[in-house]
Amino acid sequence: MFPGGQPDLSQLMKQAQEMQQQLVAAQEELASREVTGTAGGGLVSATMTGDGELTALTISPAAVDPDDLETLQDLVVAAVRDARTAVDQLAAETMGPLAGGLGGGGGLGLPGL
């Protein structure tokens, strides 16, 4: 049995529906936002949507040295990683309030969940 009696299942269902709506809204907001990561002091930049889709990659002509493609490749990887870090941070900020789960303490607000 639960301390204090049976849980109110209709209230739990209502909370679950509200949480689902908030989650969908947060995911839509993420998908509509963009972040940019850079490397090499801005020589290479990568733009991603908040849901992680790479939408643009910009390479300054100054970054292109035909005799040193390895450095350019490293800059591209670093810029994409920087953008991904920004996406992760944006997602944490956007989804953070939803991470606590229903009932404020995680789970479904039921003891042990």
Q: Residue 11 has which token pair? A: 């209230």
CATH, domain 31-100, list 3.30.1310.10, 3.40.190.10, 3.30.43.10, 3.30.1490.190:
3.30.1310.10
Q: Is the pLDDT higher at 36 or at 91?
A: 36
**In angstroms, rounded to a whole number, what is the distance separating the alpha carbons of residues 39 and 75?**
6
Confidence class for position 108, pLDDT limits 50, 70, 90: very low
- Domain segments of the chain as ranges: 31-100
State whether residue 109 is helix, strand or coil: coil
- The pLDDT score that the predictor gives to residue 88 is 92
